[in-house]
Amino acid sequence: MDYLDCRILVELARDRNMTHAAQTLFLSQPALTRRIKNLEREFGVPLVIRRSKGIAFTERGDRLLDAARKMLMDYEVLKSDLAAFQEGRVSGELRIGAIYVLLESVLPPLIASFASRCPEVAFQLVAQPNVKLFHGRRVHLGSEPMYVVSKEPIDLADLPMLPRIDAVRNAKLNALLDAWWNERYRHPPRSLVRVSNSNIGLKLVSLGMGYAFVSESSLANFGSGLFRTPMYDGRGQPVLRHTFLYYRNEVLRLRQAAAFLDFIEKTGLPPPSGAGGDRDEPPGSLTGPGRGV
């Protein structure tokens, strides 16, 4: 089993999809399939089970996957250490998985600021579904207020009678917004449209199709022309969305990961640049190159 085999196993574990893994690794799908079959012959055991909705690892496949992750980490640590022959030099590559709108709006200024301090660190940014990002330890990066946003001024008392645009969010934020709603209303919301992120939702709001719950940073591209009403809980406190970075302990063996984590713990998140985005908690996960989250 070589470096590419380890990458293949980790990518398969991330997406559970042969086609996506092949595309990420710039391989043809037949070439990737042959590598898997060669591994199964080499170790004499089945490693993956093919299903209609993707693949699953066998119990022995999971053991080999753990070994592949460790081998990739050891490789990156060695490469980083050998490259850092000048005192205080931080180099290597970091992989960050995040929801798409975070990659678009919040991470660019954060990475630009870090790069000015550690210019030899390279980044690989990967869009991933929110559900795949909750792993390991976490660092709180900041909080921001939530708003009810509409094209025209509205009275919050009228919300149950008005159409609502909902974005796909994580369970914690959904619970927060549901609690806010249930404190005030006896009737369920009139959910008109469910969208994949708040940029789409805000576009529909700007067309007058309904109102939406969005965070402050989501309004970066839609600050003018829309009305925003701050959200407060039953105690009169602002309703806040919290942003976290998740990471596994072993990535701190990489000097570039440790430096990046120290940087964001001290600075937090900068204001989003360009397009706004729905910062679903967590914003992302920090890994070494080729690592799964």
CATH number at residue 16: 1.10.10.10
282 pLDDT tier (thresholds 50, 70, 90): very low
The answer on pLDDT for 278 being more than 50 is no
240 pLDDT tier (thresholds 50, 70, 90): very high
**Rounded mean pLDDT, 164-190:** 90
Task: Tell me: do 125 and 251 sit in the same domain.
Answer: yes
- Token pair recorded at residue 235: 């105690």
CATH number of the CATH domain containing 249: 3.40.190.290
Task: Tell me: do 18 and 163 sit in the same domain.
Answer: no
Q: Which phi-psi region, left, alpha or beta, contains residue 226 (left: φ > 0; alpha: ψ -120 to 50)?
A: beta
- Establish if 194 belongs to a structural domain: yes
Task: Tell me: do 13 and 32 sit in the same domain.
Answer: yes
Task: Tell me: do 7 and 108 sit in the same domain.
Answer: no
Task: Tell me: do 138 and 78 sit in the same domain.
Answer: no
CB 217 within 8 A of CB 168: no
**Rounded mean pLDDT, 82-111:** 75
Q: What is the DSSP string of 72-95?
A: HHHHHHHHHHHH--STT---EEEE
Q: How wide is the angle at C-alpha 273 spanned by C-alphas 271 and 275, nearest 5°? A: 120
Q: Is 86 helix (H, G, I), strand (E, B) or coil?
A: coil
Amino acid in position 117: R
CB 99 within 8 A of CB 217: no
Task: Tell me: do 144 and 71 sit in the same domain.
Answer: no
Residue 183, domain extent: 94-293
Interval 37-85: pLDDT, tens: 999 999 999 999 988 888 999 999 999 999 999 999 888 877 777 766 5
Residue 151 CA neighbour count, 13 Å, CB half? 14
**Rounded mean pLDDT, 233-259:** 86
Model pLDDT, residue 138: 82
Task: Tell me: do 1 and 38 sit in the same domain.
Answer: yes
Q: Which of 97, 166, 105 is nearest to 134 (CA)?
A: 97
Model pLDDT, residue 274: 39
What's the rounded Cα separation, in Å, for the pair 244 and 235? 25
Task: Tell me: do 113 and 220 sit in the same domain.
Answer: yes
Model pLDDT, residue 275: 34
Between 196 and 43, the more confident residue is 43
The answer on pLDDT for 290 being more than 50 is no
- Establish if 286 belongs to a structural domain: yes
- Establish if 88 belongs to a structural domain: no
Task: Tell me: do 168 and 53 sit in the same domain.
Answer: no
Task: Tell me: do 291 and 221 sit in the same domain.
Answer: yes
- Token pair recorded at residue 126: 């990967």
| Domain total in the chain | 2
Task: Tell me: do 210 and 113 sit in the same domain.
Answer: yes
Model pLDDT, residue 101: 63
Angle 3-15/29-43 helices, nearest 10 degrees? 110
N- to C-terminal Cα distance for the chain?
A: 21
Task: Tell me: do 122 and 237 sit in the same domain.
Answer: yes
Domain boundary pick from 83, 107, 126: 83
Can you give the pTM of this predicted structure? 0.61
Domain boundary pick from 59, 83, 107: 83
Domain boundary pick from 36, 64, 83: 83
Amino acid in position 274: G
Share of the chain above pLDDT 90, in %: 46
